[in-house]
């Protein structure tokens, strides 16, 4: 069984997204530990990329700060090695196909297995092209996580049938970022997913308040939050872990 399933075994999962190296890797490690201590069930780690096409201005800013600070893929791998000495919850990378390609896909995914990364989310990898990475992911027991968006429509069942780990349901069109309300008919998307697979699904993009998290978790198996967490890093820098811990607790309590 996929290690990622463990995140969903104790009820609804809360999944924070953290850009590695914003403002520095030491702070990232503290944020991850604070999130886990306050109830995070799975950690999504962003490997910074210069052109993060799925991200809004908040996470773009985090990518820029991390890259300017000298963060590399190898340094992120080292961070995860250190984290795995204490952190037992599932962890996945979210990055872009180019990052994996330029590093060498086999070497990248093999290293994921070695350091204890359970899955890989590549928002710019179309479903039809996932065979570029899927055989390597299977070889090294790393789940290639599928995304389903409001525009997936007649492809939802097809994507769901082949999904692994968990399914990332994109709540809204556009890029990541907090939204005052989410208007997509997510229930019908989740119903199609449920009819085609027992792989858990969690909703992300635009969630920032406990009320929104509760609503999304009622519809699905969990809630994913990124931009709202990155805003704490932007505001508090090295002092952010304490505030992020409190925020994660409020979100976990809500769901």
In order along its 255 residues, the chain shows pLDDT tens digits of 689 999 999 899 999 999 999 999 999 999 999 999 999 999 999 999 888 666 778 888 898 999 899 999 999 999 999 999 999 999 999 999 999 999 999 999 999 999 999 999 999 999 999 999 999 999 999 999 999 988 887 899 999 999 999 999 998 764 444 444 545 689 999 999 999 999 999 999 888 999 999 999 999 999 999 899 999 999 999 999 999 999 999 999 999
How much is the pLDDT for 184? 66
| Full DSSP string of 53-104 | TT--HHHHHHHHHHHHTT--HHHHHHHHHHHTTT--S-EEEE--HHHHHHH-
Distance CA 243, CA 228 (A): 11
Burial class (CB in 10 A: 0-12, 13-18, 19+), 59: buried
Region at 94 (left for phi over 0; alpha for psi -120 to 50; beta for the rest): beta
Structure tokens at 173: 């069109």
Residue 162 CB contacts under 8 Å (≥ 6 apart), including other chains: 146
What is the value of pTM for the model shown?
Answer: 0.93
Task: Select from 149, 25, 22, 7 the least CA-distant residue to 76.
Answer: 25
How much is the pLDDT for 53? 66
| 3-class DSSP state of 204 | strand
Distance CA 175, CA 170 (A): 10
Burial class (CB in 10 A: 0-12, 13-18, 19+), 173: exposed
For 111, the enclosing helix (H) or strand (E) is: helix 105-115
pLDDT in tens, 150-172: 888 789 999 999 999 999 999 87
Domain 3-254 has CATH 3.20.20.70: yes
| Domain-wise residue ranges, the chain | 3-254
Alpha-carbon torsion 73, 30, 63, 127, what sign? Answer: positive
Give the bridge partners for 44, in sequence order. Answer: 17, 92
| Full DSSP string of 18-31 | EETTSS-HHHHHHH
pLDDT in tens, 99-148: 999 999 999 999 999 999 999 999 999 999 999 999 999 999 999 999 99
Q: Which residue has the tokens 């199609």?
A: 192
Per-residue buried b or exposed e for 221-242, using 16+ beta carbons within 10 Å of the residue's own CB: bbbbbbbbbbbbbbeeeeebbe
């Amino acid at each position: 069984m996929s290690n990622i399933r463990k995140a969903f075994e104790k009820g609804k999962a809360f999944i924070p997204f953290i850009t590695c190296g914003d403002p520095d890797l030491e702070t990232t490690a503290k944020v991850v530990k604070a999130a886990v201590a306050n109830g995070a069930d799975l950690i999504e780690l962003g490997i910074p990329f210069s052109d993060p096409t799925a991200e809004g201005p908040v996470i773009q800013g985090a990518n820029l700060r991390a890259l300017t600070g000298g963060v590399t893929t190898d340094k992120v791998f080292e961070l995860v090695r250190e984290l795995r000495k204490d952190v037992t919850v599932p962890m996945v990378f979210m990055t872009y196909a180019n990052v994996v390609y330029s590093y060498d896909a086999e070497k990248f995914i093999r290293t994921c297995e070695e350091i204890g990364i359970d899955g890989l989310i590549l928002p710019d990898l179309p479903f039809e092209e996932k065979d570029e990475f899927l055989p390597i992911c299977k070889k090294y027991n790393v789940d290639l996580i599928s995304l389903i968006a409001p525009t997936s429509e007649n492809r939802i069942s097809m994507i769901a049938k082949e999904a692994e780990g968990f399914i990332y349901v994109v709540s809204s069109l556009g890029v990541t970022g907090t939204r005052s309300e989410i208007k997509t008919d997510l229930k019908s998307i989740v119903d199609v997913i449920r009819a085609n697979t027992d792989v858990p699904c969690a909703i992300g993009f635009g969630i920032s308040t406990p009320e929104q998290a509760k609503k999304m978790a009622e519809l699905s198996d969990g809630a994913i939050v990124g931009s709202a967490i990155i805003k704490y890093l932007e505001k508090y820098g090295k002092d952010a872990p304490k505030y992020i811990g409190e925020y994660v607790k409020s979100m976990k309590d809500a769901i």
